[in-house]
A and B are shown apart, each in its own frame.
Chain A
Amino acid sequence: MFLGIFGVWFLLILAAFFKYALTYDPFFGTTKNVVYRHQTRGEIKDRNGEVLAYGTSPRIYPIGSAGSPIIGVANPVIGSEGYLEQKYAELMISNRKSKLWYLLTQSDDGYPLKTTLDKNLQLAAYRSMSGNKGAIVIMKLNGEVIASVSTPSYDPNKMTKKYYSELTKSPDRPLFNRAFDGRYEPGSVWKTVIAMTLLEKNSKGRTIICNGSFRVGNKEIKCIRPHGLVKDMIEAFTLSCNVWFMKNALAELDDKTLRISFRRFMSREMKEELGPEDIALSAIGQGEVLVSPMELATLAATIGNKGMQPVPHVINENSAPSKVIEEKTAKKISDMMTMVVKRGTARGLSDYFRKGYFVAAKTGTAEKDNSKGKVNTAVLIGLAGRSTNKPEIAFSVVIEEAQGYGGTVCVPVMKEILDYYFFRGKR
């Protein structure tokens, strides 16, 4: 009996030891895990096998500040920061396959992490931001993120305790991953969602006369210029007429419809009961609408992917896209976005049509009053591809505190990146 009681007890203990030693448990990947700070981490590689981070102390990041918030930094002194180094620490450190082989585990360099990022495109995207504050996300239509930039950034190779405390205190918040966690008013970019919602209600919108401004409650919203007679949705979308979208949203869309429609592309919960003012503001992507650059890129990818919404990811994961828009509707929106490039606010990208490439985009600008006076958030989303009618990538660009509009600030940035994407810098 003695042996029975104690034997079962001891076997339980051994089982618990093996359970904690061998099972994958992301809880231990936390930056507060002092034991993990000194452990060998695996290399982080991009989609072509090029190294983005290697070594342990010091850990070297070949692309430096270009990859900072998304790759992050791991350091024995400060722990780990950023997306990949923090979220996948457990995966990179404890490699369960070689854990079982006693003599081999010492020379084990950890588990290499293969990402979907493209090192060169990431560098090009970072360079194109050139001092702007904001974020860029570029993803394949199946959700693979190939570049994600958030600026201002920090140099992970220079990480010391002092540098780190400077970063945490900096008002620009360089440690904050704007591309994933930033929340911005998308401005006119959100008209894609409104147009989508109208089309799903089988409505083409009414013809209205735009006299340049529209009064909602005690707020006066202006268009860039009075557009006069705006016939239909295509014209309103291409011209980005605020008045047309606000009037039509107020006439045809209610609180419930908008809520269901927005939930597909926006993770943030809107406040209870939207009044007419909120509906009008949300029709032009302001007020209650706050989305991250990642969500905007996913929105573009959904449009380009015939209504199938992909799950954005940096590490290859098995995730099936879900159908959120009808193929017909997605095609119509995509066509309208092509018109924006050909004739509308994103004309800066129209060169690519002549070379036989596919480009579709929508620009947006959200005005905000703050201590510095009027500050714009310039936004651009879009699709691009090497053949005339088939998109390959979806992108979103957000620039904070911009001196201008989506069409004047974001388009040149994206043009630089697309130049690199199409010609690999050979032009």
Chain B
Amino acid sequence: MTAKIITIFYLISLLASLWMVSRYQIRLDNEQRLKKMLVVLFSGYLLAVTFIYVDTLRWEGPILFLSMVSFCPFVWLLIGILRRYGYKGDLGILILTVTLNSLGLVVLYRLDISSGWFLTRAVGYQGIIPMALKQLLYSMIALLGVVIGISRGYFKAVIEKIAERKDILIWGFIAFALLVLPKLFGFSAWLTQDKSLQPSEFAFKIIFLVFVSKYYESRSSEILLKHYPIKEVIKLVLFVFSGIVIFFFLPLVILQKELGTGLLIGLSFIILTAYVTNRFSFFMVGLVLIALAIYVGTQLSGHVEKRVIAAWLDWREYAFKPFREGEKLYPGYQIFTALAAIRMSPWGVGIGNGILKHTTMDKTIVPKAVHDFIAIPIAAEIGIMAIIIIGTGYFILLDKAMQKNRSLTFKNILAAGIATAFMTQGLYNLSSVIALLPATGIPLPWISYGGSAVFANYILIGLLSAILDDRENSRREE
């Protein structure tokens, strides 16, 4: 019962912070509102973390607990840095992401899973480190970077620099190099062993969006013409599409075996194209093309893709049956355990009450529950309300990033692109954990464990808030 009441309070705190972010502009000069906002955010987080420390972990790991608690003073410190540099923009997006990030930290802390770490291994320590601590450090470093970046105007400068450059193909080459070069030098897709640093994250998220935005900006005069012939629009889209296939899709899927990221690129691209050209038919055609590509891919390539499809469509059949007899692979098992975990109650069983970990092993019952299946522990314990809150968070971000009048400047398209990328990624992840779409290893933005994902996401947030500040300023000048 206690767990449920605590969970309700935590949910209320999350909801309240989302509501404040969506309703008001959070600025440094409105001291009272900012304080209220932080109190709401911190109270829920501290309550949840303390409850987990006392009830679930039984007072074990005081250092980890203190580190988790230190996230609140750290955020307060960040506000101090922003104030020092006299930042005047809206803090809404940043606080929104911190809210989602803190939810991820709470779940990682509750799961209490540890693993080795490349940083500690480098200094000779072979033991394991709690994943919550690692994620906390990643988040803190990324947040610090973003805060310094936006308060000192680095992100703005970067955006201006990119906006000034007229050449487009250079971005394609950079992405290509980022994806292909590590392979040539013998690195795999993952730079580190614990799969926390992944170059494709950066290549996909940042460079891909810049590439597409720059291209559409250069052709905006044509696209915006009302009576521009559809044939020409299709030509435009096909041109950028072939660029994406060559620079991003092929190296990702063939060299890095990143089927999921390839799929995300495709989805983000068709949604963004539909937005830019204001033609819904492009979205539908794009969906059909993606389905075709998946079909052709499974027909052509080996068992990896087939296994992914089997785990999606026939998870009941393959839940306990090896996919191929030679190597033991149970492609439907992850989905089976995930669905079994959420079947207890749609409202969740309360923080700490769920059965998420094996009693004997340092492993979650749902395989990879800290990575791309993190929505399952959240749904199982905090309930479907938490899933709704996460989705709403992405929607608020989308709402803030969109420009009311559609002027296709580079900045506007990039802002829309960033919001689309988050939205697509988040919804794709939530769909894959309940067998709506194939699970291809796509993390939930800000919530899943993963270093490079956190860095890439926060860099995008820095760019986005720089664009929004710029927009705000120009509106004020008018």
Contacts and interface: CB of A to CB of B under 8 A. Distances in A.
B345 A21 contact: yes
Interface stretch (A35-43, A207-215, A232-240, A396-404): A35-43
Nearest to B435: A16
B274 A16 contact: no
Interface residues on A, range: 35 or more
Interface residues on B, range: 35 or more
Nearest to A102: B347
Interface in A13-71: 13-14, 16-18, 20-22, 25, 27-28, 30, 32-36, 38-39
Contacts of B319: 32
B350 A2 contact: no
B431 A106 contact: no
A106 B1 contact: yes
Interface stretch (B299-307, B334-342, B448-456, B467-475): B334-342
B145 interface: no
Contacts of B423: 2, 6
Interface string B408-425: 000000001000100100
A24 to B, nearest CB: 10
Contacts of A25: 343
A9 B355 CA distance: 29
A105 B436 CA distance: 27
B434 A35 contact: no
B4 interface: yes
B347 A13 contact: no
Given A13-B427, A34-B365, A35-B365, A20 B316 contact: no
A103 interface: yes
Contact of A38 (B8, B355, B384): B355
Interface string A382-406: 0000000000000000000000000
B228 interface: no
Interface in B348-407: 349-350, 353, 355, 358-359, 365, 379, 383-384, 387-388, 391, 394-395, 398, 402
Contact of B343 (A2, A20, A34): A20
Interface of A is mostly: helix
B280 interface: yes
A6 to B, nearest CB: 5
Given A10-B427, A20-B339, A2 B353 contact: no
A192 interface: no
Given A6-B423, A16-B434, A17-B379, A35 B341 contact: yes
A14 B391 CA distance: 10
Contact of B271 (A2, A32, A107): A2
Contact of A5 (B3, B278, B283, B358): B283
A332 interface: no
A17 B431 contact: no
Interface of A: 1-3, 5-7, 9-10, 12-14, 16-18, 20-22, 25, 27-28, 30, 32-36, 38-39, 76, 94, 99-100, 102-103, 105-107
Given A2-B275, A35-B343, A102-B347, 8 more contacts: A13-B427, A17-B379, A20-B343, A33-B337, A34-B355, A35-B337, A35-B340, A100-B347
